[in-house]
């Protein structure tokens, strides 16, 4: 009985913290339509700040609490709203997701920058660990206070939302934002209030974890995934149900500890090592099941999106991969081995990012699990690609495709953030549980080998007798593999299947009414994407030569998704951008300029946050910037000649690496104004300009869509339809 | 554009153009609404009537042109600022917050400065039915009751300019007539009212002026009696 009570109290305390965290999340989501993946990171930051004031500087607890919860956290919330979230109106779900994920990354980076993660930090629970006796079980005041705080938060939120006009206005904004404005309510103020309260609640939950949990930026930030499950049980809307959800999860985690011991006496399976790390996966499994079983409320803000990806031309893509392979071969000839490894990483990561192009870019299905599939690909290569057998790659693709299809089935009815959360739950489940398992047998005959609770070796490929074990060969292999898969993705985009994916992104309902097989299409694209990620992971494993579970953790996967979206998720250039920038930020630049390494921790986050301004991604912007160069023969000639000269100079050892790099950069940048000088307006360009004359070649059905109707169009149509103008407008027009 | 004396003009649109994305839907709209009068804006589907109202209310930014209210240029002003300054738009079909109770809906009207007591009193005096249902969520009200609630807000806040979009939508003719009675009465108290309608008969009965909009342009303005023939031309293209 007393163990029961002990665990009950532990469970209630955990549930109370989840409830506080989850209610803040629900509040910001419902009032602003932004699902804040960084909610946990805000809580983590609050906990660190509190530690700083309370334990490092020794301030009294009430003052430290007041400063963090009533001043810093609300101000940060207001800052978030004004500086970032406000710009997200009218952007796609993927963009919003990336912005909040980037915020998460930036906050974790900043915390690791300010508070050295290698240092141990003393924390203590409130009330100096004192407690009281409750039916023979010791309850600390900290635990009692935590539960009371959760109840107070529930009552307080209820009061704010139903009794204060500002709270009523927040609910009104959820219902109908324009109408709230027509009533004279300032929706920006409602949003600011929501963010202020939300951040304060996040910080409160982070602080309440102190004393029971180590102060670690990553762990604290991801604890919120457990609160997501609670929020989902509340359908992201109902606060009472959210509290109930928190209760279920908190108690499930606590009782697992008791009953596992009890059950293990009767059922052998419960003593197995497979379940040692299972407790940490309970919440995400509940999250997955809840997402799967409960009907999903309609997503908010499903409006027209601002992003646009043109169809890639086959010729342009061939030129692109040609440049990529030639560039990789050339650069790798002159760099050190460690830089060759970095370069090989660019392509392996680029392939993993490519897996997102058909899935997220074309089909509009968000997945946060691509690095997890890469992990599966890497272990497959490790165990089935012995001696560099290319069959290992094939197995990686097939196994990942199979698992991808399996994951797709429950995910079929999800979209937007629900899908993102389901894939995140899958990734976190692998990360916290499956990837840490020892080798095991399924159904007594099927051996599953994973990371063997450590790291496993991956042999580099031998293709048709060609050994790729040298770093330089890895670069070329990576570039070729990336190029082939990129071309495949381009071909896919131009195929019938690609058009179906795009159609599905635009409107699933319309596709279904047209008789398209949505289930088949979705499962296929999930499997395909997983297979690409698996191949990428297998090659990545080869570059690294040894892989462990940590390399494929959920949190490490976030930058790939982030940077791919920033680069432009609908284009292969975007995936390349993700590969390059990830390698640049994580290994190359810190190597070259060590003093920047802290700043680089938060750069991916800052880049992602900037996405709100250009939802089509950086690559499209860069493309536009270089448009005059591409359209001028003079500029292209100049570029080709100068680059050839630079290649010759470098090859004859006339200039060194860095001058080569800068010379190439200068030539590239200079070609743009040259292009502008010699630009002769190509007819195609004129047609693209909005408002171009009626003479421009636009298919009739696009008139009014890519450019507005003109009187001339109307007259032409009238003529074609045999209606006279007088008939159309009556006497009124004359 | 109207015969009213210039100093009485409360709302004036000068050459307003507006677009959704790249597509222009208002091609230079000129329109005036004098104080203490009802102007009806009529026209077929997709003519741009609702867009015109959205532009006036500050929900949609015009691409060019000037908007003058009570002698002041307000182009570019925000909807909530305009609302607090005395403009009230009852949008078409969805003038209430469905998940808020009737009372909370009325509470939202207090952002214009009126007290909750005053808002409730005027609303319940006009529409006693709402008083019985004050604790019910607005989404569960009947269509007519919802429209009453939306109108109640418009009347309770004592606006200077009232914009009504398809008041009659989904309502029984008898309620429509009742509502237009009230509209006429409010106008006599000095409020400038711009009414958008599809079915012209009822509104022409209370309107002082009418304007016909076709394809994003005002094609005719005049006294209601003069426009009846033009109207059928605009709707039927005959
Ligand atoms: N949000 C929008 N995005 C794109 N186009 C729009 C949008 N809203 C309206 N339009 C277009 O603008 C034009 C004018 O629409 P508006 O709603 O103003 O017409 P209306 O005169 O109110 O018609 P109705 O009598 O049917 O209400 C229409 O062609 C419509 O398709
Ligand atoms: Mg309309």
- Write the pLDDT tens digit of every residue in A537-566: 999 999 999 999 888 988 888 888 888 887
> CA angle A229-A72-A235, nearest 5°?
20
Q: Taking residues A645-672, what's their average pLDDT? A: 75
Residue B105: pLDDT band with limits 50, 70, 90: very high
Min Cα distance B30 → chain A (Å) is 15
Check pLDDT > 50 for residue A731: no
Check pLDDT > 60 for residue A699: no
Residue A728: pLDDT band with limits 50, 70, 90: very low
Residue nearest to atom 12 of ligand 1 (CA): B25
- Rounded CA-CA distance A4/A43 in Å is 30
Q: What is the pLDDT of residue B228?
A: 73
- Rounded CA-CA distance A521/A362 in Å is 12
Check pLDDT > 70 for residue A423: yes
Q: Hey, which of A424-433, A516-525, B50-59 has the most confident mean pLDDT?
A: B50-59
Check pLDDT > 80 for residue B237: no
pLDDT tens for A53-79 read: 998 898 998 999 999 999 999 999 999
Residue B178: pLDDT band with limits 50, 70, 90: confident
Looking at chain A, the whole-number percentage of residues with pLDDT higher than 70 is 84
* Three-state secondary structure string covering chain B: CCCCCHHHEEEEEEEEEEEECCEEEEEEEEEEEECCCEEEEECCCCCCHHHHHHHHHCCCCCCEEEEEECCEECCCCCHHHHHHCCEEEECCCCCCCCCCEHHHHHHHHHHHCCCHHHHHHHHHHHCHHHHHCCCCEHHHCCHHHHHHHHHHHHHHCCCCEEEEECCCCCCCHHHHHHHHHHHHHHHHCCCEEEEEECCHHHHHHHCCEEEEEECCEEEEEECHHHHHHHHHHHHHCC
Longest distance between any two alpha carbons in chain B, whole Å: 52
Check pLDDT > 70 for residue A188: yes
Q: Which two tokens stand for residue B103?
A: 């009372």
Residues in chain B within 8 Å Cβ distance of A168? 100, 104, 107-108
Q: Are strands A546-548 and B38-42 parallel, antiparallel or unpaired?
A: unpaired
> CA angle A270-A273-A279, nearest 5°?
70
- Rounded CA-CA distance B41/A75 in Å is 47
Q: Taking residues A337-359, what's their average pLDDT? A: 90
- Rounded CA-CA distance B121/B113 in Å is 15
Task: Using only the alpha carbons of chain B, give its radius of gyration.
Answer: 17
The larger pLDDT score, comparing residue A492 to residue A725, is at A492
Residue A734: pLDDT band with limits 50, 70, 90: very low
Q: Is A706 helix (H, G, I), strand (E, B) or coil?
A: coil
The larger pLDDT score, comparing residue B157 to residue B105, is at B105
Q: Taking residues A266-283, what's their average pLDDT? A: 71
pLDDT tens for A569-585 read: 788 888 888 888 888 77
Residues in chain B within 8 Å Cβ distance of A171? 97, 99-100, 104
Q: What is the pLDDT of residue A720?
A: 64
Point out the ligand 1 atom lying closest to the alpha carbon of residue B54. Answer: 18
Residues in chain B within 8 Å Cβ distance of A732? 212, 214, 219-220, 230, 233-234
Interface of B with A in 39-68 (CB under 8 A): 57-59
Q: What is the pLDDT of residue A147?
A: 92
Q: Which two tokens stand for residue A401?
A: 């495709």
User: Does residue B19 line the site of ligand 1, with CB under 6 A?
Assistant: no
Residue A529 · residue A356 · CB < 8 Å: yes
Interface of A with B in 287-326 (CB under 8 A): 304
Min Cα distance B205 → chain A (Å) is 22
Q: What is the pLDDT of residue A630?
A: 66
Residue A682: pLDDT band with limits 50, 70, 90: very low
Check pLDDT > 70 for residue B236: no
Check pLDDT > 70 for residue A694: no
Residue B234: pLDDT band with limits 50, 70, 90: low
The larger pLDDT score, comparing residue A454 to residue A128, is at A454
User: Does residue B49 line the site of ligand 1, with CB under 6 A?
Assistant: yes
Q: Is A542 helix (H, G, I), strand (E, B) or coil?
A: helix
The larger pLDDT score, comparing residue B7 to residue A154, is at A154
User: Cβ of B65: how many Cβ atoms within 10 Å?
Assistant: 17
Q: What is the pLDDT of residue A340?
A: 87
Q: What is the pLDDT of residue A140?
A: 86
Rounded to the nearest 10 degrees, what angle do helices A370-384 and A391-411 cross at? 150
Q: What is the pLDDT of residue B31?
A: 92
Q: Which two tokens stand for residue A44?
A: 């983590």
Pairs across A and B, CB distance < 8 A = 101
- Rounded CA-CA distance A2/A136 in Å is 7
Q: Which two tokens stand for residue B25?
A: 């839907």
Residue B19 · residue B64 · CB < 8 Å: no
Q: Which of A333, A233, A355, A330 is nearest to A283 (CA)?
A: A233
Listing DSSP states for A59-72 in one string gives: --HHHHHHIIIIII
**Residue A171 near chain B (CB below 8 Å):** yes
Check pLDDT > 60 for residue A302: no
Check pLDDT > 50 for residue B2: no
Q: Indicate the range of A50-59, A524-533, A692-701, B107-116 predicted with least confidence.
A: A692-701
Q: Taking residues B199-222, what's their average pLDDT? A: 85
Residue B4: pLDDT band with limits 50, 70, 90: very low
pLDDT tens for A392-419 read: 999 999 999 999 998 888 777 777 778 8
Q: Taking residues A241-252, what's their average pLDDT? A: 92
Residues 6+ apart with CB under 8 A from A588: A339, A342
Residue B29: pLDDT band with limits 50, 70, 90: very high
Q: Taking residues B47-76, what's their average pLDDT? A: 90
What sign results for the dihedral spanned by CA atoms A267, A269, A275, A279? negative
Check pLDDT > 90 for residue A86: no
Check pLDDT > 80 for residue A611: no
Q: Strands (DSSP E) along A226-308, which ranges? A: none
Point out the ligand 1 atom lying closest to the alpha carbon of residue B48. Answer: 18
Residues 6+ apart with CB under 8 A from A672: A625, A626, A628, A629, A635
Min Cα distance B132 → chain A (Å) is 20
**Ligand 1 centre and the CA of B25: distance in Å?**
8
Q: Which two tokens stand for residue B8?
A: 């009485």
**Ligand 1 centre and the CA of A577: distance in Å?**
40
The larger pLDDT score, comparing residue A374 to residue A337, is at A374
The larger pLDDT score, comparing residue A614 to residue A315, is at A315
Which of A165, A175, A731 has its CB closest to that of B110?
Answer: A165
Min Cα distance A702 → chain B (Å) is 12
Residues in chain A within 8 Å Cβ distance of B120? none
Residue A17 · residue A205 · CB < 8 Å: yes
Q: Which two tokens stand for residue A340?
A: 């060759």
**Residue A179 near chain B (CB below 8 Å):** yes
Q: Taking residues B190-208, what's their average pLDDT? A: 84
Q: Taking residues A159-170, what's their average pLDDT? A: 91
**Ligand 1 centre and the CA of B92: distance in Å?**
12
- Rounded CA-CA distance A436/A27 in Å is 35
Q: Taking residues A129-141, what's their average pLDDT? A: 81
**Residue A729 near chain B (CB below 8 Å):** yes
Tell me which of A183, A189, A702 to substitute to probe the interface with B (most B C-beta atoms closer than 10 Å): A183
Looking at chain A, the whole-number percentage of residues with pLDDT higher than 90 is 24
Residue carrying structure tokens 């920038």: A581
The ipTM (two decimal places) reads 0.90
Check pLDDT > 90 for residue A196: yes
The larger pLDDT score, comparing residue B165 to residue A291, is at B165
Check pLDDT > 90 for residue A48: yes
Residue B235: pLDDT band with limits 50, 70, 90: low
Record: contact A706-B95, CB cut-off 8 A: no
The larger pLDDT score, comparing residue B99 to residue A264, is at B99
Pocket probe for ligand 1: among B16, B17, B27, B48, the residue whose CB has the most ligand atoms within 8 Å is: B48
Q: What is the pLDDT of residue B49?
A: 93
Rounded to the nearest 10 degrees, what angle do helices A39-51 and A93-114 cross at? 20
**Residue A90 near chain B (CB below 8 Å):** no
Nearest chain B residue to A690 by CA distance is B22
Q: Which two tokens stand for residue A490?
A: 């381009």
Residue carrying structure tokens 């691409």: B63
Q: Taking residues B68-89, what's their average pLDDT? A: 87
Residue A153 · residue A19 · CB < 8 Å: yes
- Rounded CA-CA distance A715/A702 in Å is 17
Residue nearest to atom 5 of ligand 1 (CA): B20
Q: Is A365 helix (H, G, I), strand (E, B) or coil?
A: coil
Which of B89, B104, B230 has its CB closest to that of A730?
Answer: B230
Interface of B with A in 119-158 (CB under 8 A): 153
Domains and CATH numbers, chain A: 2-293 (1.10.3470), 314-592 (1.10.3470)
Residues in chain B within 8 Å Cβ distance of A300? none
Q: What is the pLDDT of residue A308?
A: 63
Residue B163 · residue B87 · CB < 8 Å: yes
Nearest chain A residue to B221 by CA distance is A732
Q: What is the pLDDT of residue A698?
A: 53
Give me chain A's average pLDDT, please: 81
Check pLDDT > 90 for residue A96: no
Q: Hey, which of A328-332, A614-618, A680-684 has the most confident mean pLDDT?
A: A328-332
Residue A622: pLDDT band with limits 50, 70, 90: low
Q: Taking residues A312-334, what's their average pLDDT? A: 85
Residue A315: pLDDT band with limits 50, 70, 90: confident
Q: Taking residues B9-14, what's their average pLDDT? A: 89
Q: Indicate the range of A232-241, A385-394, A409-418, B136-145 predicted with least confidence.
A: A409-418
**Residue B99 near chain A (CB below 8 Å):** yes
């Amino acid at each position: 009985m007393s163990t029961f009570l002990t665990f009950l109290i532990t469970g209630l305390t955990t549930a109370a913290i989840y409830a506080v965290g989850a209610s803040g999340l629900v509040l910001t989501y419902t009032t602003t339509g932004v699902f804040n993946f960084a909610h946990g990171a805000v809580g983590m930051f609050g906990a660190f700040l509190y530690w700083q004031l309370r334990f490092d500087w020794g301030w009294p607890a009430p003052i430290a609490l007041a400063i963090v919860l009533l001043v810093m956290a609300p101000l940060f919330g207001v800052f978030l709203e004004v500086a970032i979230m406000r710009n997200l109106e009218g952007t796609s779900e993927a963009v919003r997701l990336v912005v909040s994920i980037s915020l998460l990354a930036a906050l974790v980076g900043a915390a690791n920058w300010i508070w050295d993660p290698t240092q141990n930090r003393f924390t203590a629970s409130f009330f100096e660990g004192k407690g009281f006796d409750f039916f023979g079980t010791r309850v600390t005041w900290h635990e009692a206070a935590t539960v009371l705080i959760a109840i107070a938060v529930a009552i307080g939120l209820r009061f704010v939302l139903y009794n204060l006009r500002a709270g009523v206005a927040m609910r009104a904004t959820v219902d109908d934002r324009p109408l709230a404005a027509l009533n004279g309510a300032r929706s920006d103020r409602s949003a600011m209030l929501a963010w202020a309260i939300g951040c304060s609640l996040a910080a409160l939950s982070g602080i309440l974890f102190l004393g029971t949990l180590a102060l670690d930026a990553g762990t604290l930030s991801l604890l919120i995934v457990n609160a997501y499950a609670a929020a989902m049980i509340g359908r992201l809307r109902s606060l009472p149900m959210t509290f109930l959800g928190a209760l279920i999860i908190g108690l499930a985690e606590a009782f697992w500890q008791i009953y596992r011991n009890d059950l293990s006496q009767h059922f052998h399976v419960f003593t197995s090592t497979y379940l040692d790390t299972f407790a940490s996966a309970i919440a995400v499994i509940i999250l997955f099941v809840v997402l799967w079983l409960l009907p999903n409320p309609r997503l908010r803000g499903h409006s027209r999106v601002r992003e646009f990806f043109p169809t890639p031309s086959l010729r342009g893509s061939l030129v692109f991969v040609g440049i990529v392979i030639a560039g990789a071969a050339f650069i790798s000839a002159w760099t050190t081995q460690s830089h060759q490894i970095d370069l090989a990483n660019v392509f392996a990561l680029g392939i993993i990012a490519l897996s997102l192009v058909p899935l997220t870019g074309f089909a509009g299905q968000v997945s946060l699990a691509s690095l997890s599939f890469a992990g599966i690909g890497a272990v497959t290569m490790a165990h089935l690609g012995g001696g560099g057998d290319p069959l290992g790659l094939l197995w990686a693709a097939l196994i990942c495709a199979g698992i991808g299809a399996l994951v797709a089935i429950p995910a079929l009815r999800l979209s937007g953030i629900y899908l993102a959360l389901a894939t995140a739950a899958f990734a976190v489940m692998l990360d916290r549980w499956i990837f840490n398992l020892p080798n095991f047998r399924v159904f007594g005959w099927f051996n599953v080998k994973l990371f063997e609770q450590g790291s496993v070796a991956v042999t580099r490929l031998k293709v048709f007798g060609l050994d790729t074990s040298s770093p330089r060969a890895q670069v070329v292999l990576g570039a070729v593999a990336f190029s082939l898969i990129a071309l495949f993705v381009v071909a896919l985009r131009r195929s019938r299947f690609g058009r179906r994916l795009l159609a599905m992104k635009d409107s699933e309902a319309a596709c279904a009414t047209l008789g398209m097989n949505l289930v088949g299409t979705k499962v296929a694209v999930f499997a395909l994407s997983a297979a690409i990620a698996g191949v990428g992971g297998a090659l990545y494993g080869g570059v690294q030569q040894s892989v462990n579970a940590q390399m494929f953790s959920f949190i490490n996967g976030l930058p790939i998704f982030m940077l791919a979206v920033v680069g432009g998720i609908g284009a292969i250039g975007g995936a390349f951008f993700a590969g390059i920038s990830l390698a640049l930020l994580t290994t190359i630049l810190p190597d070259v300029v060590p003093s920047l390494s802290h700043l680089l921790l938060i750069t991916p986050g800052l880049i992602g946050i900037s996405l709100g301004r250009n939802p089509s991604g950086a690559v499209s912007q860069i493309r536009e910037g270089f448009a005059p160069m591409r359209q001028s023969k003079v500029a292209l000639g100049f570029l080709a000649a100068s680059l050839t000269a630079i290649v010759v100079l470098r090859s004859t050892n006339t200039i060194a690496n860095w001058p080569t790099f800068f010379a190439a950069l200068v030539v590239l940048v200079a070609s743009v104004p040259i292009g502008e000088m010699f630009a002769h307006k190509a007819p195609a360009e004129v047609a693209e300009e909005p408002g171009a004359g009626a003479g421009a070649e636009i298919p009739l059905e696009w008139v009014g869509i890519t450019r507005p109707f003109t009187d001339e169009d109307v007259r032409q149509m009238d003529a074609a339809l045999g209606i006279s103008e007088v008939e159309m407008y009556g006497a009124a027009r004359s | 554009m109207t015969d009213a004396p210039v100093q009485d003009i409360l709302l004036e649109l000068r050459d307003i153009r507006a677009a959704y994305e790249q597509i222009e839907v208002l091609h230079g709209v000129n329109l005036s609404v004098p104080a203490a009068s009802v102007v009806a804006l009529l026209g077929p589907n997709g003519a741009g009537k609702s867009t015109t109202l959205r532009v006036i209310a500050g929900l949609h930014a015009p691409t060019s042109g000037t908007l003058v209210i009570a002698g002041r240029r307000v182009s570019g002003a925000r909807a909530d600022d305009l609302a607090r300054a005395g403009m009230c738009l009852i949008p078409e079909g969805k003038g209430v917050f469905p998940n808020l109770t009737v009372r909370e809906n009325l509470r939202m009207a207090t952002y214009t400065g009126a007290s909750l007591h005053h808002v409730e009193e005027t609303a319940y005096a006009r529409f006693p039915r709402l008083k019985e249902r004050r604790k019910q969520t607005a989404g569960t009200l009947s269509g007519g009751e919802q429209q009453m609630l939306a109108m109640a807000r418009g009347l309770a806040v004592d606006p200077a300019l009232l914009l009504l979009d398809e008041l009659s939508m989904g309502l029984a003719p008898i309620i429509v007539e009742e509502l237009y009675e009230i509209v006429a009465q409010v106008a006599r108290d000095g409020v400038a009212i711009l009414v958008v309608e599809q079915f012209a008969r009822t509104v022409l009965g209370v309107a002082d002026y009418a304007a016909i909009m076709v394809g994003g342009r005002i094609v005719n303005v005049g006294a209601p009696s003069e426009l009846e023939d033009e109207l059928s031309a605009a709707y039927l293209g005959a």
